Structure 1
Amino acid sequence: MQKIKTALLSFGMSGKVFHAPFLELHEGFELVGSWERSKQLIRKEYPKTKSYPSLESILEDDEIDLVIVNTPTDTHFDYAKKALLAGKHVLVEKAFTTTVAEAEELASLAKEKKLKLSVFQNRRWDSDFKTVKDVLDKDLLGEITEAEFHFDRYSPSLSIKTHKETPSSGSGILMDLGPHLIDQALFLFGFPEAVFADSRITRDRSVVDDYTDILLYYPRFRVRLKASLFVREAIPSFVIHGKNGSFLKKRGDIQEDALKIGKKPNLKNWGTESRSQEGLLHTESGGKIIHENIPTLQGNYYGFFDELYTSITQNTEEPVTAQDGINTMRIIEGAIKSNKQKQVIQL
């Protein structure tokens, strides 16, 4: 089996939790090492890897096929561009870039260089979202009239990660949790006609937005996307209403929590939610009212990496394309403009 030799640009939480375990699990990838500016930690977890002293040392290494740009958002464009120019395939964490223009430039460069460029929108492979998509794919609700997605937390204290709390083009909840919600909405419903957004600061001493409410306008329905850090008692994270019925689902995916405590993913029972988290389907089919819990599909971020492997080795489409990333950035730019002007922005 062809090996895709891969380097991370950071071995913090993102590299340690979301990338390295799945690169290790997938036999088609080989984690060669990570750029580590000060602490050299990767070899403690993966003894066969190496710590690179600089970005240039990774880009000059002919052994590296794939570079994962998992650094702060405002570095994504610069690092991804340098990696593409060095002839490497690139996987970029969300948010893809800080502007639409940057996203389009990266997409154009990847196409010119005949390289793969993908965005790590791993939440498409969450158990809860996969179940929501399955309900829609089976047309269990009829014509959709409205949907509301939440990514809420109770986190009143400022983050210890300075870059997250310092005003920049890549900071704030719209750039942090917003891309997850936006990508999921676009994946299910396509690109909207217009957007309205309200973003604000709610935490004491915060200087970056930590609340956002985005309304996407489609011809026959609306989709609301909300993220807040002051939700102690969470409501269902996915609420979808159609002309035949409704589906409500809590955010129940267990992968992130399991990875954070050091559990290793597998291909059998990984990402299996508790039955207590099952979503509620209340609809009508064939003249019969259905009011029951729906079994949750299994989540597994391995699916993303498997599709990425196939994309690189067989020249198929990336699991999340650069165009997907561009579209998400178009919504974010529209939301920023809407929040500033307090009006609906046509897209």
Structure 2
Amino acid sequence: MAPINVGIVGYGSSAKIYNLPFITPNPDLNVYAFLQRAAAPDPKTATPGSHCTVDFLNAKHYQSADDFFADSNIELVIVCSHPDTHAQFAEKALRAGKHVVVEKPFTTTTAEADRVIAIAKESGKILTCYQNRRYDSDFLTLRHLVNENAFGTVTEFENHYDVNMPVWMARNKTIEYTPGEGMTFALGAHSIDQALLLFGKPASVTAFFRSVRGVESEIDDTFTIILQYSGEKKNLLVTIKTAIATPMQHQLKTFVRGTKGSFIKFGTDVQEEQIFAGEIATNKGFGVEPTSTHGLLTTLKEVDKSQTYQEESKMYHGKFPSIKGNYVGYYKDLVAAIRGKRELAVNPQDSREAIRVIELARESHKTGTTIQWS
């Protein structure tokens, strides 16, 4: 079967670092074209990474969006542009009869998300969001333990995505907020998605936004979002956090408590770091976490052979081996969905609900109240 021709919108870090390294190893995907506004540089003086024509000699280069979307050979469009253009380009691609992957955040508002999802249903084409952090080592491990009922009934879940004073955020001096700005959209789009995937939509949202980067700004760089549930999950409390004032050797990632066990894990998935170091995503050790950051699993009954029984606590304790991270798997799953061999791994409605959490969180912060889900 011929590979699927891929057209990529944008050629910044989203395309070069977070998507292409996991597309190019896939024999079922062919990097066919780019939409990049900048003119092609002189190949004799251009440096690698400066332009799509330098790095992908056989791919087509379009400067015009109309020309790009009119190319009938493009079957799958990956939108890697600025968040405020995600919905616009997704709509153009769907109306041109192409499948679409939208980089996170899916959109900047739920109104945009609803419109694009409706267009996808009309077109019959696949629409999905690049929630690659579902394929993080730590989240794959956590999801496995939840599915194995290692914790019994989960009563508390903390999901962290902390980064100590990232340059790209620290230099943001913008004061006024516009939808799509801030850490809730940058990193929260991942951690919120993970929480919703595990536990579903909450009954209410309470949030606290802060700016600790040395500027009084409406744009959050640090946040805490609390999700509360009802019905059978009324005793569940989910906390989603990002902090940038966090000088730690290994950042806190996950803390879970339940009626039968607990799990605490430090350290961030290694795949991004490995790509920055020039590693190839298909290398044997790619996505493998060091044992030093494996999470501590404590349970009333033995769950894994990595645990040992401790008489003092009368519980089983042990560093649970992390499952290998697998961003390449995102695009493998997508190809299978396009070819009708599996369900779509990331339903766009899931990503829409994550945007809704952000909207309600901002309302909660602004009013100082808990906001009911709506």
Q: TM-score range by the shorter chain?
A: over 0.9
- Pick one of 321, 334, 337 that aligns with 1:308: 334
Q: Which AA in structure 2 matches 1:213?
A: T
8 Å contact kept, 1:117–1:318: no
Contact 1:164 1:172 survives alignment (8 Å): no
For the 8 Å contact 1:91–1:118, the answer to whether it is kept is yes
Q: Equivalent of 2:353, from 327, 331, 337? A: 327
CA contact (8 A) 1:2 1:313 kept: no
Q: Distance in 1 between matches of 2:187 and 2:92?
A: 26
Per the normalisation by structure 2, the TM-score is 0.88
2:240 to 222, 225, 230: 225
Does the C-alpha gap of structure 1 residues 241 and 232 become closer, same or farther in structure 2, counting only changes over 3 Å? same
Structure 1 residues 42 and 173: alpha-carbon distance in aligned structure 2, compared to 1, 3 A threshold: same
Q: Distance in 2 between matches of 1:141 and 1:16?
A: 39
Q: Residues 169 and 221 of structure 2 are in contact (CA less than 8 Å); yes or no, is this contact kept in structure 1?
A: no
Counterparts of 2:129 and 2:371, CA distance in 1: 25
Match of 1:2 in 2: 2
Could you tell me how far 1:206 is from its partner in structure 2? Answer: 6.0
Identify the residue that residue 284 of structure 1 maps to in structure 2: 300
Contact 1:238 1:251 survives alignment (8 Å): no
In structure 2, list runs of 5 or more residues that go unmatched.
Answer: 41-50, 303-308
Q: 1:289 to 1:45 in 2, by over 3 A?
A: same
Please tell me whether Structure 1 or Structure 2 has the larger radius of gyration of its CA atoms: 2
| 2:193 aligned residue (183, 188, 210) | 183
Q: 2:44 — aligned with what?
A: none
- What's 2:138 paired with? 128
Q: Which moved more, 1:167-176 or 1:189-198?
A: 167-176
Aligned residue runs from structure 1 range 69-88, under 5 A: 69-88=79-98
3-state SS of 2:149 partner: coil
How far the C-alpha of 1:190 sits from its partner, in A, is 1.3
Q: Is the 8 A contact 1:69 1:91 kept in 2?
A: yes
Larger displacement relative to structure 2 (28-37 or 114-123): 28-37
CA displacement 1:97-123 (0-9 Å, x = unmatched): 111111111111101110000000000
In 2, the alpha carbon distance for the partners of 1:154 and 1:252 equals 12
Change (3 A) 1:155 1:315: same
Identity of aligned residues (%): 35
Which residue number in structure 2 is paired with residue 255 of structure 1?
271
Structure 1 position 245, deviation (Å): 2.1
Judged with a 3 Å threshold, the aligned counterparts in structure 2 of structure 1 residues 5 and 163 are, in CA distance, closer, same or farther, namely farther
Residues 206 and 8 of structure 1, relative CA distance in 2, 3 Å threshold:
farther
C-alpha distance in structure 1 between counterparts of 2:341 and 2:349, whole Å: 16
| 2-structure distance, mates of 1:199, 1:242 | 28
Q: Is 1:12 matched up with 2:12?
A: yes
C-alpha contact 2:288 2:324 (8 A) present in aligned 1 = yes
1:28 lines up with 2:28 in the alignment: yes
Report the Cα offset of residue 54 of structure 1. 2.1
Give the secondary-structure state (helix, strand or coil) at the position aligned to 1:83. Answer: helix
Question: Which of 63, 66, 71 is equivalent to 2:76?
Answer: 66
Q: 1:163 to 1:171 in 2, by over 3 A?
A: farther
Q: Deviations over 1:251-307 (max 9, x none)?
A: 331100111232221174321111111110112117951111000101111111011
Determine the structure 1 residue equivalent to 2:290: 274
Distance 1:301 1:243 in 2: 32
Change (3 A) 1:65 1:142: same
Q: How many residues align?
A: 347
Please tell me the residue identity of whatever aligns with 2:207: A
Gap change, CA 1:163 and 1:26, over 3 Å in 2 = farther
Does structure 2 conserve the Cα–Cα contact (< 8 Å) formed by 1:3 and 1:30?
A: yes
Separation in structure 2 between the aligned mates of residue 180 and residue 244 of structure 1, nearest angstrom: 27
2:211–2:220: 8 Å Cα contact kept in structure 1?
yes
Q: In the alignment, which residue of structure 2 is the partner of 1:209?
A: 220
Q: Is the 8 A contact 1:144 1:221 kept in 2?
A: yes
* Partners of 1:197 and 1:172 in 2: CA distance: 14
